[in-house]
Amino acid sequence: DEPRPGATIEIYSDYPEFNRSDLLNSATLIVEGTVTGTEYTVTEARFEGDTPEENPLLGLSEKEKAKALAKQKGSPTIVVRLRVDSVHKGDVKPGQTVSIVQSGGVINDVLYREIGNVILSRGEKYLIFGADSFDGAYYILGGTAGTYVEAEPGTFVAAVDATAPFETLTSTEVHSLTH
């Protein structure tokens, strides 16, 4: 059954937990930045890798692959544009805009909302711990574990205390942790 237009569907993602060390070491991107815009899109499934967990199409015949791919509907995704103000880790520069992908969004006028997720808001400033995604974009580690909202200039608080390894972080603390 397809959901009715205008409906809201709650989705759940099972993110790994991060301690302080894991969050710092797993991040390929640690930046402070301001959200300049968001866009709803659909992310198509990608089947890459050398194990059945990474690539469920591994070992299937061409006919079986075609049948499995035809069943794929894609995942609702929000692409957030973040203008980078400060770089603590990563191959980006201040002033550059990066794309952050988050779960959720709208498909066929149906809102998909991820339980427990904090969607980055236009005009707000964040400290983001991210990792490489597809097509040059990044995802936030642990869903919300790597999301910190600016409370006052240079001071960031965890978007969701339950998942965050730090309650608060200052720009100076992040700099000392990453250098």
Q: Do the Cβ atoms of 166 and 127 come closer than 8 Å? A: no
Q: State residue 101 phi and psi, 5-degree precision.
A: -100, 135
More confidently predicted of 114 and 170? 170
Predicted pLDDT of residue 96: 97
Q: Do the Cβ atoms of 32 and 95 come closer than 8 Å? A: no
Predicted pLDDT of residue 162: 85
Q: Phi-psi category of 71—alpha, beta or left, where left has phi over 0 and alpha has psi -120 to 50?
A: alpha
pLDDT(163) > 90: no
Cα gap 110→107, rounded to integer Å:
5
DSSP assignment of 91-110 equals S--TT-EEEEEEE-EEETTE
**Contacts of 67 by beta carbon, 8 Å cutoff, 6+ apart:** none
Give the position of tokens 């250098």: 179
Note the pTM of the prediction, 2 decimals. 0.80
pLDDT(68) > 80: no
Q: Do the Cβ atoms of 164 and 145 come closer than 8 Å? A: yes
Q: Lowest mean pLDDT of 80-84, 88-92, 117-121, name the range.
A: 117-121
pLDDT(52) > 80: no
Average pLDDT of span 71-75: 64
- Termini Cα distance of the chain: 52
Q: pLDDT-based confidence at 13, cuts 50/70/90? A: confident
Identity of residue 69: L
